[in-house]
Structure 1
Amino acid sequence: MATAQLSLSYGQAFVAPERHRHRSSMSVHLPESTLLGAKGACALISDSTSRNTNAKQAGDLSVRGFIADYFSTPDHWDIKTSATRVLHALNGWCYSQSKHLDEGSYVASLSAMVFRGQEAHLFHMGDTLVFRLRGAEFEQLSHDHVNDLGGYRYPSRALGMDASLEIDYLKMPLKQGDLFLFATQVAQGTLMPSEYVQLIRQDASDLDAACERLTEAAIARAQSRGYGAEQFCFQLVRIDQLPDEENDRPGKVYGDLPIPPELSPGDRLDGLEVQAVLSRTAQSRVYRVRDVLTEREMVMKAPSPELSTRNAYLEHFLLQQWVVERVRSPFVVRVMESSRPRRYLYYLMAHVEGETLVEWARKHPQASLVQRLDIANQLGKAIQALHHRDLLHQQIHPGNVLIDPHGQVVLIDFSACHLREVDGHKRSRRLVNQVGLTQHTAPEYALGDEVGRRSDQYSYASTVYWLLTDELPYTLTPDRLRSHTDLEQLSYRSASTRNPEVDPALDDALRRALDPQRSLRYRRLSEFLHALRRPLGEERQGRRAVPRMFREPARFWQGVAGVLLLLLVLSWLLR
């Protein structure tokens, strides 16, 4: 006997005269049955201010972005985890992109409601409106986050408004026949609760017609009061059927999938045959595998069997796949889909034929500066692709960079990759310390200071320095720092003295990107990349080469002292 599934109906109506730019967006998404059981359905409404020249793009982006990313989150995440992570990521992207606009922004109020099983989950920020009609009871579920400045009402909280995001969250039980009304802020104060109920109940079977009645009544009321009647948006969602209680269970949590046992070449797991063991660490196992059904070669990453009780790490392990799936770059390894359902906890990545940067440098000691800088620039593009998604890699070093037979760079290993959030720097440091510091790790990780994109910049610059000189920029490596006083021992060793092909401008760029103080590095990674891309023989706009004595003052004066000592000894001998 078939079990009942969640079923809902919806209607919409909006008015936006052509002479006014449409600034609101709304949508209802009901996925296919498998995804419906794991993730539910969702309804959203978004609105931006009339003075925002990018209002339409902001509203559309927030709605489409949430739907695309929310339904791509892993099935084992619960509703709140999935939606809040997506909203934080979306907020970070909107906030960072708004900085590059000459006018307007990607700021928008957003109300998103997820219907799953016998519950509804509301995520709200800004001044959009959400009501519930149950029987004759009409209740506002959302709270208005607005400021009144000079007669204009502005959202005091919205998506993309600030680097951090505060989200109102409300979970409520559903009943068959519940009606949810989504509206923009301009509807506030136009109709009374009793009028909403009356207009909706006139013919509740046709929700589009009910929304049209609400729109017409709101416009008439606004005009009668002498203020604008544009940009009214109404969306109604009705719960037609609820799933059976026994069929209403959350998606699998990470504890439902067992960690794979220790595997060896020839072993099979979920139709994947192990070809080779690539890595065994305290945290994970990495295998090269072949799908016996499709013959594809891939890389499987699984938690170490010893981590079966360390749920905090396992939760992050499951985040890794979702993190990498969000990045689309030829310089970042791709996550692959399995041809069968997973019975164990792991994820699959594309297998890249190639060698690590360490192996490449060992085999090509005579590689030119141009070849090395080409590799550096490709690696920079990989890091930029992560940063554009508000992700920190946090483990950039030569062992995590692959070079394929065509010379293309592929960045791998996302053990410490982290999605920046409100308390992101605390979680980031914890992850890096758990995975392990390296010689290329930025000093702030060892000292417990705040971390960010400039921390990746340091690791990247340290890797480039090593690639150009086969040495490290400091005698005391950051992973050995114990206190802030140790920073004084970090004296930069000029790259040009170790590789004469490195010109003064390039050396200066490396020196700045490798500054022990995070705030003194390049503000944006693109500035450092620009310095790496300059033609090697280009005149530096009148900038003269810095004499070696000023780039290495300690060595210069040591040489002077040695010459003086030699002259003194000779004078004694010639007496």
Structure 2
Amino acid sequence: MEDAARLSFGQAFVAADKRYHRSSMVVQIPDGEMMASQGACALISDSTSRNAIARQAGDLSARGFLADYYSTPEHWDVKTAATRVLRALNGWCYSQSRFVKGGGYVSSLSAMVFQGTDAHLFHMGDTLVFRLRGAEFEQISRDHVTDIGGYRYPSRALGMDANIDIDYMTLPMKQGDIFLFTTQAVRGTLLPSDYVQQIRLSADSLDGACQQLARAAAARAGERGYDGQSFCFQLVRVDRLPESGSEGPDLRFGKLPVPPELVPGEQFEGYDIEAALSPGGKARVYRVRDVDTDRRFIFKSPSPGLALDDAYLAHFMLQQWVAERVSSPFIVRSVSPARPRRHLYYLMEDVEGEPLDQWMARHPEASLEQRLDIAQQICKAVHALHRKNILHQGICPENIMLDRHEGVVLIDFGACYFMEHDDQEGARALVYDIGMNPHHSPEYALKDNVSRRSDQFALASVIYWLVSGGLPYGESLNGLAGRSELDGLAYRPLALQQPSLPPVLDDTLRRALMPQKALRYRRLSELVYGLKLARQAWHAGQELMEPPPQHVPAGRRTETRWKIVAGISLLALIISWWF
């Protein structure tokens, strides 16, 4: 049975000079889980510029939306995901336009997301979207234009202002609905009856229908004396809607059942349960083996007791998104199930190694070179999360795995949080719920706002522990009762514990471990650079400690050789005289 809409589409484009066309259009219909959870997208954009920048603006706005929309967490609803993507895209276009002369990254854009039985329209500017249902042909987008001196210019377009006002509407779909996407260039050419006639004449081929519309619009424009216009037409038809009562799995978090308690030895959805790694808490973690491929994975699912807690289930899906979307060799990787999921869980690679605290217990004599190499890898893992606007909030030795080659893999996304949310209390609540560790920054104990610098503190605290075995302030800061206590905190210099460590390492960590968040590094790259200088200083110190090799200049070696030869000759002459 069908559990996602089935769509077909057609396109046609006519331009007097294709090098400088201003319009872009694209349709993306994904397969499988993504189609069911996030739907299909159809977009059209039209730039306000008439130069080479116009093509870039149109293409970037359309393709940028698709790339970012399908990277959002699957548990977000369509409106939340598309709106956040468009606002981020608008901010980027607006910032780039300030550096462009004779043009700008400004464009009208209409995006429609087909998800389930609804079509979600997001509209900015003056691009046009129509719906043909039976004999009824109507425009469903609004023209946002400004009339200046008899010329119409788009307003509320993407990239025009730092803030964007987005038109949003939801349309229930019916089988056979046809949506037409085009631009303001067709205004004054075709009548509604022309659209209906041309589409009906080529009903078997949507590409053919678009080409007929383009030819008819170009001919009508020629008759009225404004040749050289660009025309683009895009049609999307709803061929089939999802069937109600579908037996296939619904991939939205609220519809997938939570797995029951699993025990080693049983089989679940094609996986042999080998070990329960985390039998308590809000999540269940198991080591499993795929019965078909014999590969081992880490299987994570919510606790059965939280099956009705939508807030937790939404956060669980965020954890899955982090594992799937953050691509880094220093972050544990998600694995796509070989079979359709019928319960709420996700799979991760089974890292063959041990946590950092166990590794340190087995390697107490590890060199500073090894420790700083591990520290720099941890920095890369945290940086990969921060680039996706994600706080880890759980950086500690127990959540850092070292594989057989001493490669770092950061695990456990149970406290991860999107930084674009303004809900600071929600971020801290995740940490309180899971439990604080000795490396958390003072902001959590004082219920202050958290940020990237909060992760920076925890990261620096772990590095301090890695090279010294202690904590930077002697004990955990989780018991702070008020801001006044921050001024009384005294950093414990590394030199007091290990005088051989380079001073630049102490200076670097001291700055990242400032109790006042505003005094820490602005960027994580500054901490990384300090660690690099520390490694260089340590290497230089090692070279000074080694005794220099005995080196005799070449001239002195030659002089010594001739002295030996002369001595032997003199001794031979004396012997000859003697005898």
Q: TM > 0.5 between the two?
A: yes
Letter in 2 for 1:372: R
* 3-state SS, counterpart of residue 395 of structure 2: coil
User: 2:280, 2:166 → 1: CA distance?
Assistant: 38
Label 1:97 to 1:427 Cα distance change in 2 as closer, same or farther (>3 A). Answer: farther
Per-residue deviation, residues 277-330 of structure 1 (Å, max 9, x unmatched): 322442222222222332211111222333334331122112211221012211
Q: Which moved more, 1:193-202 or 1:20-29?
A: 193-202
Letter in 2 for 1:85: A
Per-residue deviation, residues 439-477 of structure 1 (Å, max 9, x unmatched): 222333333433332322222222212212222222463
Superposition pairs of residues 518-557 of structure 1, within 5 angstroms: 518-534=517-533, 536-537=535-536
Label 1:159 to 1:369 Cα distance change in 2 as closer, same or farther (>3 A). Answer: farther
Superposition pairs of residues 118-197 of structure 1, within 5 angstroms: 118-125=117-124, 128-135=127-134, 137-143=136-142, 156=156, 158=158, 168-184=167-183, 186-187=184-185, 189-191=187-189, 194=192, 197=195
Question: What is the CA-CA distance between 1:537 and the residue it aligns to?
Answer: 4.2
Is the CA contact 1:11–1:208 (under 8 Å) kept in the aligned structure 2? Answer: yes
Question: What is the CA-CA distance between 1:331 and the residue it aligns to?
Answer: 0.9
Q: Which moved more, 1:325-334 or 1:233-242?
A: 233-242
RMSD: 4.1
Report what 2:81 is aligned to. 85
Is the CA contact 1:45–1:63 (under 8 Å) kept in the aligned structure 2? Answer: no
Report what 1:61 is aligned to. 63
Letter in 1 for 2:77: T
* 3-state SS, counterpart of residue 496 of structure 2: coil
Question: What is the CA-CA distance between 1:199 and the residue it aligns to?
Answer: 6.6
Is the CA contact 1:199–1:213 (under 8 Å) kept in the aligned structure 2? Answer: no
Q: Unaligned regions of 5+ residues in structure 2, if any?
A: 539-579
* 3-state SS, counterpart of residue 536 of structure 1: helix
Label 1:247 to 1:167 Cα distance change in 2 as closer, same or farther (>3 A). Answer: farther
Report what 2:572 is aligned to. none
Superposition pairs of residues 250-329 of structure 1, within 5 angstroms: 251-329=250-328
User: 1:416, 1:35 → 2: CA distance?
Assistant: 25
Question: What is the CA-CA distance between 1:65 and the residue it aligns to?
Answer: 0.8
In the alignment, does 2:429 pair up with 1:430? yes
Per-residue deviation, residues 370-399 of structure 1 (Å, max 9, x unmatched): 111111111111122222223222211111
| Length, aligned pairs only | 530
Question: What is the CA-CA distance between 1:161 and the residue it aligns to?
Answer: 7.6
User: 1:136, 1:449 → 2: CA distance?
Assistant: 60
Question: What is the CA-CA distance between 1:532 and the residue it aligns to?
Answer: 1.5
Per-residue deviation, residues 121-155 of structure 1 (Å, max 9, x unmatched): 22345554322233554433334667899999576
In the alignment, does 2:462 pair up with 1:466? no
Identity of aligned residues (%): 47
* 3-state SS, counterpart of residue 326 of structure 2: coil
User: 2:95, 2:537 → 1: CA distance?
Assistant: 31
Report what 2:497 is aligned to. 498
Question: What is the CA-CA distance between 1:504 and the residue it aligns to?
Answer: 3.1
Label 1:357 to 1:90 Cα distance change in 2 as closer, same or farther (>3 A). Answer: farther
Report what 2:573 is aligned to. none
In the alignment, does 2:201 pair up with 1:203? yes
Per-residue deviation, residues 16-71 of structure 1 (Å, max 9, x unmatched): 5657455543222344577656654432224555357852652353254157547x
User: 2:438, 2:147 → 1: CA distance?
Assistant: 52
Report what 1:404 is aligned to. 403
Q: Which moved more, 1:412-421 or 1:121-130?
A: 121-130
User: 1:225, 1:42 → 2: CA distance?
Assistant: 35
User: 2:315, 2:189 → 1: CA distance?
Assistant: 47
Report what 1:383 is aligned to. 382
User: 1:191, 1:394 → 2: CA distance?
Assistant: 58
Report what 2:332 is aligned to. 333
Is the CA contact 2:282–2:302 (under 8 Å) kept in the aligned structure 1? Answer: yes
Q: Which moved more, 1:338-347 or 1:409-418?
A: 338-347
Label 1:8 to 1:404 Cα distance change in 2 as closer, same or farther (>3 A). Answer: closer
Question: What is the CA-CA distance between 1:366 and the residue it aligns to?
Answer: 1.8
* 3-state SS, counterpart of residue 446 of structure 1: helix
* 3-state SS, counterpart of residue 77 of structure 2: helix
Is the CA contact 1:298–1:350 (under 8 Å) kept in the aligned structure 2? Answer: yes
Is the CA contact 2:334–2:349 (under 8 Å) kept in the aligned structure 1? Answer: yes
Report what 2:510 is aligned to. 511
User: 1:146, 1:250 → 2: CA distance?
Assistant: 44
* 3-state SS, counterpart of residue 497 of structure 1: helix
